[in-house]
Amino acid sequence: MRKTRARGKRSITVSSGRFAADAFSPFPAWSARTTLTILAGLPGCLEDHRWRLNWKPLFDKQKDASPSIGALAVSESDPNVIYVGTGEACIRGNIVGGNGVYKSIDAGKTWKFVGLPDTHAIGRLIVNPKNPDIAFVAALGHPFGDNEERGVFRTRDGGKTWEKVLYKDAKTGAIDITFDPSNANILFAALWQARRTPWSMDSGGAGSGLYRSADGGTTWKEIKAHGLPETVLGPHRRNRFRSESESSMGGRGSGKGRHLPLR
């Protein structure tokens, strides 16, 4: 578990033994003298307002929701708005699948199911920094088989409807997505072709790739060449990309494809 804090900010931490991510936002919804921390993973979501002295569950009583949390994001422009994507995307042989996206508009007190029930595993969820109704989901899809509800999805009405804005095929899902910090109309997304069985992992394939959108996620162009390697493309930080091959990392799964985290 990890707790993070930024001065004058509200801190959201997603963490478990299999997944970790952070999101920050201004926090007028809470006292400026406290930091909210949310821990999420296979047990669900927990929150703390008092420096890890008191924890309470946020999501365990949500009817029919998967207990496995893959991603969550808090709106910077309205910190009462939180989106949660169920289903961990670290696809081990014993993972628990998700059943879509949930949303809270009261800082986690209550939740509402807002769609994408067949995404199974969600690698990342981001919210437009100026508009809490615009959010993107990077859905990996079913880890053990083909399915169509995978790729990058966008909502522009707070989760009432979703558009599939980036899709490769039924074998390839989206593992990560991020905004350009200087321009939210520019996004980068990573697609990952992967298949899990109870006894093996086939990581990478022709469907994997790195994509860029310059119009708010409506259209996407794959990024190739310009010095990028033919294998793994790695973490994205601000305007830089670092890349390394699966073989250079000691091999992941079959070691024959590309895994593209943008963190």
Q: What is the pTM of this model?
A: 0.77
User: CB of 232 within 8 A of CB of 245?
Assistant: yes
Q: How confident is the model at residue 138 (pLDDT cuts 50, 70, 90)?
A: very high
| Tokens of residue 224, six digits | 């190739």
Average pLDDT of 163-187? Answer: 96
Percent above pLDDT 90 for the chain:
46
Nearest CA to 211 among 172, 248, 247, 182? 172
Mean pLDDT of all residues belonging to the chain: 76
Residue 192, pLDDT above cutoff 70: yes
- The pLDDT-based confidence of 104 (bands split at 50, 70, 90) is very high
Residue 153, token pair as written in the block: 């999805």
Closest CA to 137 of 169, 105, 114, 170: 114
Band of the pLDDT at 259, cuts 50, 70, 90? very low
Report the pLDDT value the prediction gives residue 17, as an integer from 0 to 100. Answer: 47
What tokens were used for 206?
């022709």
HEC assignment per residue over 97-115? CCCCEEEECCCCCCCEEEE
**Looking at residues 189-215, what average pLDDT do you find?**
90
pLDDT of residue 68: 84
Place of tokens 């949930």: 102
| pLDDT for residue 139 is more than 80 | yes
- Cβ-based neighbour number of residue 218 at 10 Å: 12
pLDDT at 93: 79
> Quick check: 7 pLDDT over 50?
no
69-74: strand order across its sheet: 69-74, 82-86, 101-104, 112-115
